[in-house]
Amino acid sequence: MTKSQRAVIAVLSLVAVSLVAALGIYAYQTLSPMARTPLGPALPLIPTQTVPPLWTLTPADLSSASTPMLAPTILPTATQPAPLCGGPPLMNVLVIGADVRGDNYLYGLGDAIRLVRVDFVTPKVSVLEFPRDLWVEIPHISEHLNGQDHEKLNQAYLYGQPGFKYWDDPSGGPGLTALTLNLNFGANVDHYIAVNMRTFEHVIDAMGGIEVNIPDKETARMSDLAVGVHKLNGAQALKLARNRTSGIFKRADNQNLVLCGVRKKLTNPAIIAKVPAMIQTFQDNIRTDFTPEQLGQLACLASQMPKENIVFSSFPEELFTSTRVYDPVFDKRVSIVDADFNILSDYVARFQAGLWPLPSAKLTDSPAEADADENSVFTCE
């Protein structure tokens, strides 16, 4: 992968942001008569897509499979127990970090785009990163761009925001991004959270900072921090999350260090004392269609979730190539990330079904493919 394949600028702590917000609102909601009122415009009705898997395995086939497969799919079988915390069995959340340093939401590119699968039965949270530079079809923009209907994925958020408003829907950039992910990859989105850089800093500061552990010299080299435990404020955490000294994939690891630091802080009962400050921050600076009741369900789930059940994943690196295309909007050739969307859609389908990332490498006959799946997953220590 080259510089042109800059998957994300880590401007926020993604899932952790929603969990921090949930803690505050969960404590607050008992005093509010509006617990079931969405905090922002709802997403439009997005048709549920079922992407046929490229390869399918039944449980009986696992012991005898001998044909190399890129993306094996296992058919679910057993009856599920009741969901925890009064939540739904599953919830798919689109989390977007905008590259805007101010407090407004008029413009901004969606430079951090992740799909979060929340499983209230297991419980488990899985996070899938989408490279921002994928060249995708964006609905509802062609009439504003002289017939041009393709742009980079991060521009779907920009074109839906009030500053452009190429799509006349109250959900704005998050809604148009959700439609774009659905159209190109079959992603099904139930809710959204969008934050900007300043909000990220506010969240970390409202928590009293976070601790990150730099376990070894290699991690130290990629993070520009010495080996050991460091306490970071909001600005320092943002600097670490945006560090790409060792490349885009190591930068993703830096993001995950921050996420793990936030997750650890959330397990500290002392965070409750900071609830009032966080409530004020979140009410003014986060865009979401969650209700306080739903955020309370997330907070409840977070308190019962083992740290190993929070998994951050990326598409295997070798699926992508760097290239350039002519962009009529900018009247020049621009750098993009290219991939086979059928394969990416298969990964998305399995991710949303809870069948990928694989629990181990033993389900594939190809060592290279097993390593690809294993190296696409990051869990907190």
**Phi/psi class of residue 42: alpha, beta or left (left: φ > 0; alpha: ψ in -120 to 50)?**
beta
When pLDDT is averaged across residues 311-330 and rounded to a whole number, the result is 91
Based on its alpha-carbon atoms, the radius of gyration of the chain, rounded to whole angstroms, reads 20
Model pLDDT, residue 311? 87
Model pLDDT, residue 169? 94
Tell me the pTM: 0.79
Cis before 41 (ω within 30): no
Count CA atoms within 13 Å of residue 275 on its CB side. 14
pLDDT tens sequence across 358-370 = 654 333 333 344 4
Cα angle, residue 100 at apex, residues 206 and 271 outer, rounded to 5°: 15
pLDDT tens sequence across 107-135 = 889 878 999 999 999 999 999 999 889 99
pLDDT tens sequence across 27-65 = 454 445 567 888 889 998 876 665 555 654 444 433 333
Domains of the chain: 3-379 (3.40.630.190)
Q: Is the pLDDT of residue 20 over 50?
A: no
**Phi/psi class of residue 162: alpha, beta or left (left: φ > 0; alpha: ψ in -120 to 50)?**
alpha
Query: The tokens of 319 are what?
Result: 């699926």
pLDDT tens sequence across 203-214 = 888 888 999 988
DSSP 130: -
- Give the C-alpha separation, 367 to 70, whole Å: 11
H helix or E strand, kind and range, residue 338? strand 332-338
- The model's confidence at residue 272, banded by pLDDT at 50, 70 and 90, is low
Model pLDDT, residue 217? 84
Q: Is the pLDDT of residue 139 over 70?
A: yes
When pLDDT is averaged across residues 261-286 and rounded to a whole number, the result is 67
Query: The tokens of 230 are what?
Result: 């460091």
315 phi/psi in degrees, rounded to 5: -65, 145
SS3 content of the chain, % helix, strand, coil (to 5): 40, 20, 40
Q: Of 80-94, 263-277, 302-316, give the lowest mean pLDDT range.
A: 263-277
- Give the C-alpha separation, 209 to 211, whole Å: 7
Q: Is the pLDDT of residue 23 over 90?
A: no
Sign of CA dihedral 78, 120, 179, 38: positive
**In which residue are the tokens 């994939």 written?**
249
Model pLDDT, residue 246? 59
**In which residue are the tokens 């969008």 written?**
194
- Terminal alpha carbon distance of the chain: 27
Q: Is the pLDDT of residue 372 over 70?
A: no
- Give the C-alpha separation, 30 to 314, whole Å: 38
Model pLDDT, residue 258? 83
Q: Is the pLDDT of residue 13 over 50?
A: no
DSSP 69: -
Burial label for 305, CB within 10 Å (0-12, 13-18, 19+), is: buried
Sign of CA dihedral 146, 151, 154, 157: positive
When pLDDT is averaged across residues 218-232 and rounded to a whole number, the result is 84
Read off the amino acid at residue 54: L
Sign of CA dihedral 47, 6, 377, 320: positive
